[in-house]
């Protein structure tokens, strides 16, 4: 065999990515530089004012600090205003500009410190603005085996062309979409469909890129290139979800934006009443929304801390906020509501053998099979019955079943069409019933007679029936289950879970459309999932929660919240923490606004000078911050 071997490449960085990362790093450094410089300037001036008895030099240091550190804040606010974005930061900017014009450097530096510190805290608490697609891209099929006459050449999956004849070995990813032209095997399609069951594929059937060839080698003909295949479509869906994600409005801006006109009116009225221009600055200083800028991020970060203690990783304050606002919870079925691993549901005897005897027979034979379902049968039999006899004359038929002799009896186990080849008698009514309900099953034939059926089911995760009513008590109005499974299975699982609204036979893009529809209705959407097929939906939702303990890396990467423990009931804890944190943040905001308005009126009447206003504002800040700290308890 000749050819070029293409191994998995070490991650390389695109120059544009390096520049972008450097740019982002620079932004973070400059953001933290302002509060640090403000503290140093305030402290240096304080030393000269209090200990070195040099008020003149102290004012020069404070004034320089005010200009140098205040200018970036003013510039950024003006740019936002030009772009039509108005926020409570405008009040702080007015206070900074007025302090510069009136040479009230001490009060101005206090405002700069509070404003820059609030922004730094908020930035620290917020999740990254873009979704990292690197893990998804790294997980895409990389290698393909092109067959040219009798030679196999290893090529990059990206180089595979439509019409190429490709060999796919057991355990490998299907490199591109195509059709099997030779051989048969089982494929694990869970990365695309979300369903954990294996699907038998034979000659003439289509297979999708990103799925896994489990059992035997097959030859396939490529029908799409790598960039047009199903896995690449999921990558693009995630990218589109990232681009379409609406920006989040800060709580402070939502509740405090009306403070701007009130401040301007009171400042103007105070100037007319007192005839003193410093009254304007006094009003601005007292009005500076530090409780909104500081207390809110502190509350949100307190929520982050509390969530982390419970094994819930929340990617920033905005995700906590969205948890608190969530109105509808949407769950993926397989791997989220259910365990995602088919288990023996029941053994149905047909004839003289009991269910225990049938389990012993099946477990004995399946010990030698490599099929995942066979391994589960053997494991269940050993757990219940102990040591099992080894079969004789074992033979496996790929994707169909196995035959052997156990205790002198001729046994065949597999799908019904396989077992029928060995049957002389036996009732098949039960087979029709199971197939009508789309239940996964294996037949057991003993001495050419249909003797039993093993039915499988995907079991609910522990705690799901209690989780659903708990979420409703927390204020989640509607709960929905989405699945790529058939209607019968979806209906059965949703009924046992206590979820009335369910959608079935869905592809990843269908889930995306459902979430988009709910968001267009103005609802805050919470999505819970675990597989690669859930990644687009997790990215599009207002807040996506990934089952990170066993879920796909890309789901954890695109989600806003990750459950580090394999426990879906943690979703209830996450929602509770989010709603409690939001409630505390709003309390701090309400207190800050009310106190600011009250002292603005006093300042407008001429009873508060700017330096006193700065001290009063700090007292309001302290109370608001202490209240916000309760979120971490």
- The catalytic site residues sit at 332
**Whole-number Å distance between alpha carbons of 387 and 502:** 43
CB atoms within 10 A of CB 182: 13
Token digits of residue 440: 């996964």
Helices 610-628 and 570-604 pack at an angle, to 10 degrees, of 160
Instruction: Tell me the DSSP string of 217-254.
Output: -EEEEE-S-GGGSHHHHHHHHHHHHHHHPPPPPPHHHH
Q: What sections of 310-350 are H helices per DSSP?
A: 317-325
Burial class from Cβ neighbours inside 10 Å (0-12, 13-18, 19+) for residue 622 reads middle
Identify the H or E element spanning 529. Answer: strand 525-529
Token digits of residue 472: 């409703």
**Whole-number Å distance between alpha carbons of 490 and 197:** 14
**Whole-number Å distance between alpha carbons of 476 and 575:** 9
Q: Decide: helix, strand or coil at residue 412.
A: strand
Identify the H or E element spanning 345. Answer: strand 343-349
**Whole-number Å distance between alpha carbons of 418 and 439:** 17
Spatial CA neighbour of 598 closest among 580, 582, 583, 613 = 613
Q: What angle do CA 584, 588, 594 make, to 5 degrees?
A: 140
List CB contacts of 103: < 8 A, sequence separation 6 or more: 59, 63
**Whole-number Å distance between alpha carbons of 308 and 383:** 36
Burial class from Cβ neighbours inside 10 Å (0-12, 13-18, 19+) for residue 522 reads exposed
């Amino acid at each position: 065999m000749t050819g070029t071997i293409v191994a998995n490449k070490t991650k390389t960085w695109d120059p544009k990515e390096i520049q972008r990362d450097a740019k982002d790093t620079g932004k973070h450094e400059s953001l933290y530089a302002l509060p640090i410089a403000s503290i140093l300037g305030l402290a240096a001036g304080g030393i000269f004012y209090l200990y070195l008895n040099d008020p003149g030099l102290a004012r020069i240091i404070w004034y320089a600090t005010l200009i140098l550190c205040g200018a970036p804040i003013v510039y950024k606010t003006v740019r936002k205003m030009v772009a039509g974005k108005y926020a409570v930061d405008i009040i702080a900017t007015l206070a900074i500009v007025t302090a510069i014009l009136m040479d009230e450097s001490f009060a101005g530096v206090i405002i700069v410190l509070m404003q820059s510190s609030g922004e730094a805290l908020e930035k620290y608490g917020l999740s990254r603005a873009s979704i990292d697609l690197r893990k998804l891209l790294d997980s895409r099929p990389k290698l393909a085996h092109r067959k040219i006459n009798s030679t196999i050449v290893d090529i990059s999956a990206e180089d595979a062309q439509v019409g190429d004849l490709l060999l796919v070995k057991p355990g490998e990813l299907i490199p591109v979409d195509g059709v099997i032209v030779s051989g048969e095997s089982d494929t694990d399609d869970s990365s695309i469909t979300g369903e954990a069951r294996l699907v038998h594929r034979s000659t003439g059937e289509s297979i999708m890129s990103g799925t896994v060839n489990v059992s035997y080698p097959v030859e396939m003909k490529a029908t799409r290139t790598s960039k047009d295949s199903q896995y690449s479509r999921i990558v693009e869906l995630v990218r589109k979800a990232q681009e379409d994600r609406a920006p989040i409005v800060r709580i402070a801006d939502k509740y405090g934006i009306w403070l701007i006109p009130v401040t301007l009116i009171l400042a103007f009225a105070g100037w007319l009443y007192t005839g003193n221009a410093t009254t304007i600055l006094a009003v601005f200083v007292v009005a500076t929304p530090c409780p909104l800028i500081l207390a809110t991020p502190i509350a949100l970060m307190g929520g982050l801390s509390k969530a982390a203690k419970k094994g819930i990783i929340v990617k920033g304050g905005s995700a906590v906020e969205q948890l608190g606002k969530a109105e509808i919870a949407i769950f993926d079925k397989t791997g989220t509501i259910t365990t995602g691993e088919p288990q023996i549901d029941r053994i149905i005897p047909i004839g003289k053998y009991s269910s225990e005897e049938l389990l012993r027979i099946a477990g004995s034979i399946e010990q030698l099979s490599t099929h995942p379902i066979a391994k589960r049968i053997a494991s269940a039999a050993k757990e219940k019955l102990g040591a099992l006899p080894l079969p004789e004359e074992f033979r496996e038929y790929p994707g169909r079943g196995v035959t052997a002799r156990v205790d002198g009896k001729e046994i065949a186990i597999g799908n019904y069409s396989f077992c029928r080849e060995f049957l002389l008698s036996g009732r098949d009514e039960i087979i029709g019933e199971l197939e009508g309900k789309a239940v996964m099953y294996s037949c057991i034939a003993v001495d050419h007679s249909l003797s039993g059926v093993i039915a499988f089911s995907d079991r609910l995760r522990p705690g799901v029936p209690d989780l659903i009513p708990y979420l409703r008590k927390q204020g989640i109005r509607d709960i929905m289950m989405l699945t790529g499974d058939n209607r019968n299975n979806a209906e059965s699982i949703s009924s046992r879970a206590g979820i009335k609204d369910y959608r079935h036979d869905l592809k990843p893009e269908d889930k995306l459309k459902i979430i988009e529809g709910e968001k267009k209705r103005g609802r805050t959407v919470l999505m819970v999932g675990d597989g690669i097929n859930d990644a687009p939906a997790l990215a599009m939702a207002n807040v996506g929660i990934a089952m990170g303990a066993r879920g796909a890396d890309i789901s954890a990467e695109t989600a806003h919240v990750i459950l580090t423990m394999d426990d879906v009931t943690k979703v209830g804890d996450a929602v509770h923490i989010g709603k409690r944190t939001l409630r505390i943040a709003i309390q701090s905001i309400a207190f800050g606004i009310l106190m600011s308005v009250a002292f603005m009126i006093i300042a407008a009447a001429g009873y508060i000078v700017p330096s006193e206003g700065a001290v009063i504002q700090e007292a309001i800040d302290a109370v608001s911050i202490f209240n916000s700290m309760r979120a971490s308890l």
